[in-house]
Structure 1
């Protein structure tokens, strides 16, 4: 029996996934959580074989939760199941240690098979996303550029961003300028939106 942990902030989606997976004779959903920062504790308590994680959740996102699970529980595999099929998310998820990445409209039979394959140590990637990732290439933003763009996404001023990331205003402007150039945008707000749409943030 393959034990599964589900993490998704939408109760309806979480319940539907659990119901579908429980129909399979060799799969058992042993835990469900609604927040990214609840995943590690749930893994500790329930010892699942495979974690199915959404990306956008309260607390921490599914990519950060993946990294935390892989660091503390190397024998537990992670499969990202998300609405947000973005090439940048795929690259970041794999870099964090996810064994698979599929979108939520994957047919139930294929999702169950993806769980089995990930449990067996294989990699499972949505084919369309894999192609898009090859075409788009890797995320060109540095970690600092990502940080300042995340704040720019909220409309924060340079002074406010500088306070949050503990850098001088001049350094923040330099990072924003670099990010604008890499995204081909004309403003920092536009750069942040482009980066978000590509899954780079």
Structure 2
């Protein structure tokens, strides 16, 4: 779990996840010039979770769109696991659903890639000082989305892979069988299920199966 480090707030240890090598290199250079330490640079969500577990960074920077598990899913998995390491999302844009999920999982910062150089450094300074760095425009977008009537489909808030897992649960498959069908480990299935339970406010797979099988 996250433990604040001693020292100046602008000297943070960072795990950076982005599937584009050029972006990883450019962002790393900017952050190192600003005095931050790059604990690890990785290319996808699973590598990001492994790097967070290994390095225990002060801050995690996640690209939203990555192959496999995306930045929102990594944030959700960390939140479900009780990991309070501050997360900053680096993105070209967010859907309403992604924004709501990010805020629900206590994202600490959101920075758009367009013009990110100065904004990212400013964001990290705010996050390291314990503040949230999210544009008011995005907060207004989230408020407008939260005031909409609930969707008819209770599974609409789930990410595509979470919906796939929910479907397998509805068919009665066990975690190992789901993992075999999707080409992922049984442990990864459990992480996804915890995220699903949190999003749908469920206690167990029986409740999930009932929702999936409901007409």
CA pair 68-161 structure 1, distance change in 2 beyond 3 A: closer
Task: State the alpha-carbon separation in 2 of the partners of residues 174 and 59 from structure 1.
Answer: 29
1:144 maps onto 2:155 in alignment: yes
Q: Which residue of 2 aligns with 1:155?
A: none
- Taking structure 1 as the reference length, the TM-score comes to 0.67
Per-residue CA distance 1:91-146 (angstroms, 9 max, x = gap):
11121231122211144222111012112221111232222222333673455234
Q: Secondary structure of 2:94's match?
A: coil
Name stretches of at least 5 consecutive residues in structure 2 with no aligned partner.
1-10, 173-210
The offset of 1:72, in angstroms, is 5.0
- Taking structure 2 as the reference length, the TM-score comes to 0.63
Q: Which residue of 2 aligns with 1:125?
A: 134
Task: State the alpha-carbon separation in 2 of the partners of residues 118 and 61 from structure 1.
Answer: 21
Per-residue CA distance 1:129-186 (angstroms, 9 max, x = gap):
2222223336734552345x948xxxxxxxx999646359xx87977xxxxxxxxxxx
TM alignment of 1:38-49, pairs within 5 A = 38-49=47-58
TM alignment of 1:1-201, pairs within 5 A = 1-25=11-35, 27-70=36-79, 71-74=81-84, 76-137=85-146, 140-141=150-151, 143-146=154-157, 150=160, 164=168, 166=170
Contact 1:80–1:101 (CA<8 Å) still a contact in 2?
yes
Per-residue CA distance 1:50-80 (angstroms, 9 max, x = gap):
0001122223121221133343532x21111
CA pair 38-127 structure 1, distance change in 2 beyond 3 A: same
Segments of 4+ moved more than 3 angstroms: 138-143, 160-165, 171-175
Alignment RMSD (CA, Å): 3.2
Name stretches of at least 5 consecutive residues in structure 1 with no aligned partner.
152-159, 176-201
